[in-house]
Copies of this chain bind each other. A is one copy, B any other.
């Protein structure tokens, strides 16, 4: 499959007439072939028109047809073969093993959503039968299902060029819900995006779906994204990226004549609390495991452990010694883009030059585009006095906050902004301390984990990859896991509809064999 640099608009591939750009090889900074051309306003218009045209047909595809389409997308991505991995390695600087794993995750995610679609639980079908004899007024027949919200704009993320990009979690959950997708390729991996986009396009054709179910637009800048979010046919937005980018999308969406939801996953320092008994028993082991999580993928994960909270003492000293020793031996690794590398260096330099911050250790130095890991420490007093210390440095840098006691840890947590994850390291003797912190964490984070680190986000049914603002734009949702489908649904109620006009999900004979709420109570499909 040759990479042509074209936009994929419905079934067509056409060269944009906007600014030309090239992908950059992350390891060298060299330009890669071919040239891509940014989409124009007319391309955005055409993609959105096709998406709107496809919407009524696509959202009413049978559950099985829609599931098979998601599986066809997964198969088509696998069928690209090694070309996808090779291109993605060049564009992202990420190693082969990681990208093969990420491809598996992306494909598995599409298949999980196929299962979610077949299950039909996401339709939340409800039936309140008529009560014609009720006094003083008869009760009408009322039935409810969830329907797709409309065409969705998806912005690819740079740090997961497969799993959070063109056919990543946002696209998979939107397509599962019945929403056409207009994806905006991330300019850091346009070739990877095109390859995956062509796979989706092929699956649309193979499954006989309306061409507007999927389009992919290229842009070196921000005008295509702005036009997409402003388009009246776009009903929701999925985004993973920087806080600045996410907030700009939120503001653009809120100021439309018809505001729409933006699901932006933005920034998080993912506090890790080391409780005293665990620290004393195995502080050194935790220190080594922490460095493994911190430096994984050059620290370029939303769930990277950027903040450590612990009470001073011998246990913490052991943790810091082991973590510093491990970090010092960590190889530098290529970062995703020169821009991300530059921002990382600036963030690290700011911490290094902060008089309230001590540099505990640095990893091995590397090449021009490689991130050098860093571990810093400060006091709770300094941390509470300086908001800048709570900001994310995207990459393998973390800050340890030395606290005089558990009450101070709690006070620091109460001052943090919304986060994706929080981790507690604890032993049995720490349970009371943990119990006191859990309510604080529940109010602030989307996922609480024990004796582990937030990196490695399981794609499952009980996953929340979300959290209160500014971790995300909307703490009521998740962007990973099966619950993500609910972002792209809205309920519609049907009152007194004749049987022949009812959607299949709501008919008396329940042809979709759904679990439904009958007068509020869950009822099995055989009932």
Please tell me if the beta carbons of A496 and B142 are within 8 angstroms of each other in the complex: no
> For the complex, what is the distance from the CA of A56 to the CA of B437, rounded to whole Å?
11
Among the stretches A161-169, A339-347, A351-359, A516-524, the one at the interface with B is: A516-524
Please tell me if the beta carbons of B522 and A522 are within 8 angstroms of each other in the complex: yes
Please tell me if the beta carbons of B448 and A497 are within 8 angstroms of each other in the complex: yes
Please pick, from B116, B121, B466, B493, the residue contacting A462 in the complex, using a CB distance under 8 A: B493
Please tell me if the beta carbons of B431 and A498 are within 8 angstroms of each other in the complex: yes
Please tell me if the beta carbons of A493 and B521 are within 8 angstroms of each other in the complex: no
Asked if A445 is at the interface (CB within 8 A of a chain B CB), the reply is yes
Please tell me if the beta carbons of B491 and A483 are within 8 angstroms of each other in the complex: yes
Which A427-475 residues have a C-beta within 8 angstroms of B? 428, 431, 434-435, 438-439, 442-443, 445-452, 456, 458, 460-464, 466, 468-470, 473-475
Question: For residue A431, which residues in chain B have a CB less than 8 angstroms away from its CB?
Answer: 498, 500-501
Asked if A127 is at the interface (CB within 8 A of a chain B CB), the reply is yes
Given contacts A461-B520, A464-B144, contact A478 B491 (CB under 8 A): yes
Please pick, from B448, B497, B517, the residue contacting A495 in the complex, using a CB distance under 8 A: B448
Q: List 8 A-B pairs, minimum CB-CB distance, nearest first.
A: A449-B495, A464-B493, A142-B462, A144-B462, A461-B520, A126-B462, A447-B493, A128-B462
Question: A261-B474, A448-B493 provided; 5 other pairs, C-beta below 8 A?
Answer: A121-B522, A126-B462, A140-B449, A258-B469, A447-B493
Q: List 23 A-B contacts (CB under 8 A).
A: A119-B520, A124-B483, A126-B461, A128-B461, A149-B475, A149-B476, A254-B254, A428-B498, A431-B500, A434-B501, A438-B501, A446-B493, A447-B495, A448-B495, A450-B496, A450-B497, A450-B501, A452-B495, A452-B496, A458-B495, A462-B493, A476-B489, A482-B520
Which of A's residues lie within 8 Å of B, judged by CB?
Answer: 55-56, 60, 101, 115-116, 119, 121, 124, 126-128, 136-137, 139-140, 142-144, 147, 149-150, 250-251, 254, 258-259, 261, 417-418, 426, 428, 431, 434-435, 438-439, 442-443, 445-452, 456, 458, 460-464, 466, 468-470, 473-478, 482-483, 489-498, 500-501, 515, 517, 519-522
